[in-house]
Chains A and B, each alone.
Chain A
C-alpha cells in the first residue's frame, strides 16, 4: 500500500481497479496538524484526467510498473522526447501527461520513465533539483530570514517564489513535490 502523503508526480497507484498516474499534486495543512492533498491523476485505462482530494493518510494499492532510466532530449512544445540510455531508442510523451514535470527537467537530464503496457506514461522526478534563477528583482542584503518572498523565473521557465536575498544568476534547490524553494546552493 502507498499513502497519499508518499505520492509524487509520476507515481502510479491502483484505486478500485483503476490504474492512475499522478500528474500534479499539492498539499496543505488543515486544522489540528493534519494535511490533505489535491491530485491531478490520469486514468491509464480510460485516458481520463481528473482532480481529486485525499487525506494524507488515505492509502492505495501499489502498482508495479516498469521504469527505465532515460535522458531528456528536447521538447517540441506539445511533446517531450526521451532517449533510452542503453538502446538509444527514443520515446515521446505528451506534455499534458507529464503534469508539473516540465517545470523541473532540462535537456540532458537523466530521469526515470514509467511504462504501462509498453507505452511511456510518466516521468519520475528526484525530490530535489537545483536550477538557476534567470530572472528576479534585485536582492535585499541583510534580509536572511527567508520569510519575505519575491517572484522569480528559473532556467526551465518555471516561475517560483524565492526569498528576497536571492539574486539573479544564483542557483536554488527546488522541491519537485510542491514546486517550492528549499535553499540557495553554490554552483
Chain B
C-alpha cells in the first residue's frame, strides 16, 4: 500500500510533528508500506527529523512530486495548502488517479464530538475517490492516540545513565537524581511556578532543574527561575531527541497536540496548555479532557487540584497570568503517576491510532 501524508510546517512544528509521527508509526507497524510525507518547507522539516529512514519526504511544491502514485492520501488537519493543492490535483486528474481513499486527519481532542465525526464520509464529488474523517481522541469510538512503538520503547530504556548522558549534553554538571521538569508551553507568567518549585526544593533538599524547551515559554521562564533552581534553556531539538528528553523528566508542562499525547502515554505528572482559541474556546477542550480523566482518579481531592491547575494555566487572560498552583506536580507526583499511569496503560491498550487507521485502510483493499 502506498500512502501519502500531507501537512504544513508551522508554529514550532506542531502539525508536522504529528504528521511525521504518523508516517514513522505506520512504517513501524507495517514495514511493507510505502509512506511519503509531503510537507510545505522540506528544508525546515529537516530540523524536526534529520533522518527519515524508510519514509520519503517531499516538498509540496516540488514539480517532480506525483500524487497519482498513492493508494491513500492522508491530509493532516486539512486547511489550506497542501490540502488545497491536493484538491486541485484531484479534480484536475480524477481519471488518472490510483488513489481511492482520502483521509482527513483531524486534530486530537477529548471532546465528545470526536466520536460522532470519526470515520464519517466526506464526499468530495470526485468519482471513485472516497474521503473520510479520522478523528483522534481519548474516548472509545474515536481514532485514538498515536502510539509510536519507538517512543514507547524509549520509556523502557530510560534509566539514570541515559538521564546523565542526555542532561550532560545541555548542562554539564547537573545532578542526575535532580527533580527535572520540562516546560514546553505557550506564553505564561511562570512566577508562581518558580516560587513553588524553589520552596519545595529547599523544603525537601532535592535539587531541581527546569528545562525550558525552545519557543515561547523560554523567555518567561528566564525571568522567573532563580537559584537554587537551575534553568536549562534548550535549543530546538529534533523529535527523537525531544522524546528522549521527555522520558528523562519527572514532571512536564506540555502544550498543543503532540507533546500532550506523549505526556498522556508516559503517565508522568503533567499539565497541558491548549492552543489559544477565540472567546476562550480552549477551555472547552480542557474541560473535555478533564472529564475523560476524572474517573481515573481514586482521590477526587487530588483530581480537583490537578484540574484547577489546568483551568488556571488555560485561562490566558490578564487575570489568569501568573496564577496556577503547579506544586501538585511535584508534591503529589507519586499519586499523580498512579492515576495518570493507569490511564496511560488504558490508552496504550485501547486507543491505538495507527493500528486502527491501518485496519480501516485495509478494509478498502487498497
Contacts and interface: CB of A to CB of B under 8 A. Distances in A.
A36 to B, nearest CB: 7
Interface in B40-79: 77-79
A149 interface: no
A32 interface: yes
A100 B78 CA distance: 28
Interface string A144-168: 0000000000000000000000000
Contacts of A31: 77, 106-109, 257, 275
A53 B275 contact: no
Contact of A54 (B80, B122, B275): B122
Interface stretch (B111-119, B154-162, B176-184, B357-365): B111-119
B123 A29 contact: no
A109 interface: no
B124 A16 contact: yes
B320 interface: no
Contacts of A29: 277, 281, 284
A57 B77 contact: no
A57 B75 CA distance: 14
Nearest to A60: B125
Nearest to A41: B123
Nearest to B10: A32
B278 interface: yes
A58 B126 CA distance: 13
Interface in A28-44: 28-34, 36, 38
A97 B166 CA distance: 63
B133 interface: yes
Contact of B277 (A33, A55, A60): A33
A37 B116 CA distance: 11
B283 to A, nearest CB: 10
Contacts of A55: 78-79, 104
A96 interface: no
A51 interface: yes
A15 B126 CA distance: 9
Contacts of B116: 38
A58 to B, nearest CB: 8
Interface residues of B, number: 30
Nearest to B133: A53
Contacts of A60: 125
B125 A34 contact: no
Contacts of B126: 16
A32 B124 contact: no
A34 B275 CA distance: 11
Contact of A30 (B106, B120, B278): B106
A31 B277 CA distance: 8
A15 B123 contact: yes
Contacts of B278: 33
B92 interface: no
Interface in A50-82: 50-55, 57-58, 60-61
Nearest to A17: B125
A88 B133 CA distance: 46
Interface in B81-123: 104, 106-109, 111, 113, 116-117, 120-123
A53 B106 CA distance: 11
Nearest to B104: A55
Contacts of A36: 106, 117, 133
B107 A16 contact: no
B127 interface: yes
A52 B281 contact: no
Contacts of A28: 111, 113, 117
A57 B123 CA distance: 14
Interface string A7-33: 000000011111000000000111111
A52 B122 contact: yes
Contacts of B133: 36, 53
A32 B8 CA distance: 13
Interface of B: 11, 15, 77-80, 104, 106-109, 111, 113, 116-117, 120-127, 133, 257, 275, 277-278, 281, 284
20 contacts: A16-B123, A16-B126, A28-B111, A30-B106, A30-B109, A31-B107, A31-B275, A32-B15, A32-B77, A34-B107, A36-B117, A38-B116, A52-B120, A53-B121, A54-B122, A55-B78, A57-B79, A58-B122, A60-B125, A61-B125
